[in-house]
Amino acid sequence: MLFTLKKIVFLVTYNFSLFLLLMIGIQNSSNKIKINLISSETIRLPVSFIIGLSFIGGSLTGGLLNINSFGKKDKNL
């Protein structure tokens, strides 16, 4: 239980620090595009922001899936 909580805190802290670095890094980004969603479009966003957010989202999702599968392995033992 304590290990899982430590891992979640580490994941949130790590991904939040990556997000802050992303915000600092895209200050002078000039390449902007719109993303087509199912029913609408987004505003013009920098390409680096889109790529960075998808990386951070994947990192967070992968870490949380790993915690979930780790907990299931312990229950089977």
pLDDT for the residue numbered 68: 64
Reported pTM: 0.73
Ordered DSSP codes for 10-45:
HHHHHHHHHHHHHHHHTTT---EE--B-SS-B---E
Q: What is the mean pLDDT of the chain?
A: 84
Q: Which residue has the higher pLDDT, 4 or 23?
A: 23
- Given a contact cutoff of 8 angstroms between Cβ atoms, the answer to whether 60 and 23 are in contact is no
Question: Residue type at 7?
Answer: K
Domain borders along the chain are: 2-63
List the structure tokens of 31. 């390449």
Place of tokens 């966003």: 45
